[in-house]
Amino acid sequence: MNKFNRVCIVGKYKSPEVARPVAQVIEFLQGEGVSCLVDDLTAQQLSGFKVDSGTMDEVVSRSDLVVVLGGDGTLLGLARTAATHSVPLLGINLGRLGFLADISLDKMVDSLRAVQQGEYVIDDRVMLDVRIDDEPGTGVWALNDISVGKGQSGSLIQMKVTIDGEFAYDLRSDGLVVSTPTGSTAYALSAGGPIIAPSVDCILLVPVCPHSLSNRPIVIPGSSIVEIEIMEAVDARVHIDSHTHVNIREGGRLMIKVATSKVRLVHSNGHEYFGTLREKLHWAGTIGS
């Protein structure tokens, strides 16, 4: 495995506890002869460091690794930019769950040292591409999910769902989650969907509080194209990885498919997906242990 020579460090925005670990990462990497960059917002939280800074897109494009200090939400916010420039992401967890940002703070330096010694694995994750015809020019990527939800009115949404040009079903519900396997442990899981291993080539559709209890989650091939038409809604909104929010009117259509680029996640050697599930979801360990 190659050593990373130019590393971008991004800290959770407006987090009072992020400055110190960001400084520790910079100190360690600079001591290893690595050129460090930070985005402008992270730079505002640092003092006493001579570190290259710039806009997020600029510093990511100039790096061969991005180290993210925050929770999964912080990493999700960077996923599109990193995928656009094919730059891998390494997440250090300052949040709660840490499915994506899976390196703990107390193991941060040891993990970075191991990564710089080539002791890491790359985990490619698919993204979804959503286009909304009510909003010209949209074509936004999501690592976790795209969801259609009701707004402040509280009224149910009626949607027509088509898969690969074939009518699938009409849905009256609070919403619908269209998820990647990565996102199956996020909103889709809380809405009753299954957990899907990240290597499975599929798309997951999970109704949110459907009016008819026979509307159940379904898994479709990753090559599928999902179209959603809003048949009836007072103030429906589209939420993309909980970072981008777009209003959509009656008659509006969404087209969702797997994106052309993937997110590349860096894990320390020994990382286990099911080990992460056991830890984060508090599953039982080995019987008798």
**Domain with 113 in it: what CATH number?**
3.40.50.10330
Tokens of 80: 């599109």
Whether 286 is in a domain gets the answer no
Would you give per-residue pLDDT tens digits along the chain (289 residues)? 678 999 999 999 878 889 999 999 999 999 999 999 999 999 988 877 778 999 999 999 999 999 999 999 999 999 999 999 999 999 999 877 778 988 999 999 999 999 999 999 999 999 999 999 856 655 899 999 999 998 777 889 999 999 999 999 999 999 999 999 999 999 999 999 999 999 999 999 999 999 998 899 999 999 999 999 999 998 899 999 988 999 999 999 999 999 999 999 999 898 889 988 998 888 976 655 4
**Domain with 155 in it: what CATH number?**
2.60.200.30
Whether 94 is in a domain gets the answer yes
Active site residues: 72
Judge residue 54's burial from the number of C-beta atoms within 10 Å of its C-beta, 0-12 exposed, 13-18 middle, 19 or more buried.
middle
Whether 288 is in a domain gets the answer no
What is the residue whose two structure tokens read 């985990």?
A: 123
What is d(CA 89, CA 103) in angstroms, rounded to the nearest whole number? 12
Residue 38 contacts residue 93 (beta carbons within 8 Å): no
Whether 170 is in a domain gets the answer yes
Tokens of 107: 């193991």
**109, 234: one domain:** no
Whether 35 is in a domain gets the answer yes
Whether 285 is in a domain gets the answer no
**273, 251: one domain:** no
Counting the structural domains of the chain, the total is 2
Task: Tell if the pTM clears 0.85, that is, is over it.
Answer: yes
Whether 176 is in a domain gets the answer yes
The range of the structural domain enclosing residue 170 comes to 127-260
**145, 228: one domain:** yes
**136, 202: one domain:** yes
Whether 22 is in a domain gets the answer yes
**Distance set, CA 21 to CA 90, 107, 135 (Å):** 14, 11, 40
